[in-house]
Amino acid sequence: MKDSEYASMLLSMAKKDLKALSAMTDIHVFEDEIFGFHAQQAIEKSLKAWIALKGIEYPKTHDISYLLFILEEQGVNIEQYRDFIEYNIFAVQLRYEAFDSIVEPLNREVTITKIYEFLTHIENIVKS
């Protein structure tokens, strides 16, 4: 499979997580842990798509900071995406731990918008 085809597949999966996020805006129905998990997944899959576009085999990790580091090593300016690292606490490896440490609720509208814009940015790279 070509890098762009693989990236498109990963983006398609990320879009499903984004679609789920869009349906989880009610904080009384969906806890931050559930919303945050899908946000983390959408970001992770999008980053892996970008890495695949670079022709690099991405590692089997859920660590957003490490995936950003890989892109930075490839010359990508990742500064505007560093705040995605805060979603690491929602990654798969932490799904069974208590989330008592979350002080402020996630701003769902901002999160959805930022992830949508990020996905769109990577889709544009795939198309070019």
The beta strands (E) that lie in 1-128 are given as none
Residue 66 reports pLDDT greater than 60 = yes
Residue range 34-60, pLDDT digits in tens: 999 999 999 999 999 999 999 998 889
pTM of the model: 0.91
Q: Domain extents for the chain? A: 3-127
Per-residue CA distances from 80 to 72, 76, 95, 107 (Å): 12, 11, 26, 18
At 122 the pLDDT is: 95
- Specify the CATH number for 3-127; select among 1.10.10.10, 1.20.120.330, 3.90.700.10, 3.40.470.10: 1.20.120.330
Residue range 2-27, pLDDT digits in tens: 688 889 999 999 999 999 999 999 99
Distance of CA 116 to the CA centre of its chain: 10
At 105 the pLDDT is: 86
